[in-house]
Amino acid sequence: MEAENRQQWQDRYRNGFFLAPMVRVGTLPMRLHSLKHGADLVWTCEVIDKSIIGTQRIVNDTTGVVSFVKDGRDIFATHPDEKAKVVFQMGSATPELALEAAKVVEKDVSGIDLNCGCPIKFSIQGGMGAALLEDPDRLCAILEKLVQNISIPVTCKIRVFDDEEKTLSLVRQIARTGISALTVHCRTRYMRPREKAMWHRLNSIVEELKPLPVVLNGDIFKYEDAQKARTSTGATSVMTARGAAANPSIFCAKGGIPARDAVVEYVKIAMNVGNPYSNTKYTVLQMHPDTRSSEFRALQSSKCYQDMCAALDLTELYHSEAKQRISDYADPMQAKRDAKGAKRPPTETKTSADNSVKRVKA
């Protein structure tokens, strides 16, 4: 990597407020929603290397969405509107598979991030995520393989150890691989989200790695938290997960929009890109600000986009613009309803005006 490219790549991770990778929530609509409100970069949900390898790249001419499909299932979806700012997060345990996976999406994203912090059992048993923290040589071998063989920036996301010196030793080794930035989730592998993030642990990491950009992640719930975190830790940039999941307008410096408005906006974006309904519903239920309201209950019981739009007073938009952009794959219940309606036989009825017979659908 040329020194000029290295500097340019590092600069994109400075002075930013980023969307963190989130399981199920961090799909295309959330990323586009966050970018609309000022996110500087957006991370994808983690995608396992073996999942993306062997996919077929398909472009939807109606929505512009680029999907990577395997065995009839969407593994990853992106859109040209996010190409310059989307970072593909990968789960991997081997350098060779990591590189093969990165090559699949290299032309459609602006960066590759290695997940070295996920504590879930599946990742740990596969030697991925937080398991890599205990195997720094393998972790760094993966990063080196990526840095030396792809044409876009490589980063990684870690957690801290209880032992500060062990953490500093790890980050020094990681920095020598040539990555463009390091994200630190300020919790240990064993800490849960309800436990307060240890921002103070970042100060020594920032000092140790200068001038490499260091991104703070953990307990950023409003715009002001991002500024406070950077000031108190020296972090180059800040990343939020739960803050954005509650309201993606958290990224707006001039003040966000009401949470309910954010839900409506999210649904419009999801329909515009034909996002799978099940994923949209899951995210909407995470975002909605009033879980005791009749609207929330209607969303809970909804089976398809038409039901969801009825709950949010978006029925006219659904029929006039959105429905034709949503595939049967994305909204299977609506597809079943449409098919059932199409199979109904015509029924004879008499008009009340002149007893003439009309043929109408039942």
Which residue numbers are catalytic? 118
As a whole number of angstroms, the distance between CA 99 and CA 321 comes to 40
- Which DSSP letter does residue 94 get? S
In the DSSP assignment, the letter for residue 358 is E
- How far is the C-alpha of 107 from the C-alpha of 307, rounded, in Å? 37
Burial 243-281 (b: 16+ CB within 10 A, else e): bbbbbbbbbbeeebeeebebbbbbbbbbbbbbbbbebbb
Decide if 101 contacts 53 (C-beta within 8 A): yes
- C-alpha dist (Å) from residue 65 to 36, 62, 319: 17, 8, 21
Task: In whole angstroms, give the CA distance from residue 223 to residue 282.
Answer: 24
Looking up tokens 């990597």 gives 1
Dihedral over Cα of 43, 46, 48, 51: its sign: negative
180 within 8 A of 9, measured Cβ to Cβ: yes
Q: Give how far the C-alpha of residue 135 lies from the chain's centroid of Cα atoms, to the nearest Å.
A: 27
- Do residues 241 and 20 touch, judged by C-beta distance below 8 A? yes
HSE of 183 in the Cβ direction (CA atoms, 13 Å)? 31
Largest CA distance in the chain: 92
CA atoms of 32 and 7, how far apart (whole Å): 27
> Which amino acid is residue 362, in one-letter code?
A
